[in-house]
Structure 1
Amino acid sequence: MADAATESGVVKAGGGRSRGLDRAFDILDFLAGARRAMRPNEIAQELGAPRSTVYDLTALLVRRGFLEEVGDGRLFLGDRLHILGAAHAALSSRQMAIEAALGRIVEDTQETAQFCRLDGNKYIVATARDGTRPFRITTNIGHRVPLTWTASGRLLVGHLDAAGIAAFVPPEDFALPDGRPIDRNAFLAEVEAARVVGHFTFDSALDSYTHCFAVPVRSALGRAEATLCIVAPREDAYRNHAAYLASLKQAAAQISPLFAKPG
Structure 2
Amino acid sequence: MTAEPVSIAEGVVPRTFAVLEVLAQSSEPMRLSAVALRLGLQKSTAHRILAALIGLGFAQQSPETGCYSATLKLWELGANVITEHPIKRAASGFLQELQRATGETVSLVIRADDDVLYLDKMISPRPIRFTTRIGSRVPAPLTAGGKAILAHASDASAVLERTAVALGDRRRLDVAALTAELEQVRERGYAMAGYQPGVVGFAAPIMTRGPEAAAAISVSAPAERVDEAGRREIIEHLLSTCASMAERVGRL
TM-score range, shorter chain: 0.7 to 0.9
8 Å contact from structure 1 (residues 32, 142) kept in 2: no
Aligned match of 1:121 in 90, 111, 114? 114
Cα distance per residue 1:18-51 (max 9 Å; x no partner): x433333333333444444323432333233454
The match for 1:243 is 233
Give the secondary structure class of the aligned counterpart of 2:203.
Answer: strand
Match of 1:197 among 168, 175, 188: 188
Q: Which amino acid aligns with 2:175?
A: R
User: 1:61 — aligned with what?
Assistant: 53
Instruction: Output the TM-score relative to the length of structure 2.
Output: 0.78
2:137 corresponds to which residue?
144
Match of 1:37 among 29, 44, 54: 29
Residue 173 (structure 1) aligned with residue 167 (structure 2)? yes
- Structure 2 residues without counterparts, runs of 5 or longer: 1-9
- Secondary structure of 1:169's aligned partner: helix
- Bigger mean CA deviation after superposition, 191-200 or 87-96: 87-96
Q: Tell me whether 55-64 or 86-95 shows the greater mean CA deviation.
A: 86-95
Q: Residue 256 of structure 1 corresponds to which residue in structure 2?
A: 246
Contact 2:129 2:222 in 1 (8 A): no
| Equivalent position to 2:212, from 223, 232, 246 | 223
| Count of residues in Structure 1 that have an aligned counterpart in Structure 2 | 240
Residue 222 of structure 1, CA deviation: 2.2
Change in 2 beyond 3 A, CA 1:206/1:89: closer
Matches within 5 A, 1:35-114: 35-69=27-61, 72-114=65-107
Partner amino acid for 2:163?
Answer: V
Give 3-state SS (helix, strand or coil) of 2:21's partner: helix
Structure 1 residues not aligned, in runs of 5+ = 1-15
* CA RMSD of superposed structures (Å): 3.1
Cα deviation code 1:191-219 (max 9, x no counterpart): 111122221113x1421x21111111234
Which of 154, 175, 178 is 1:187 aligned to?
178
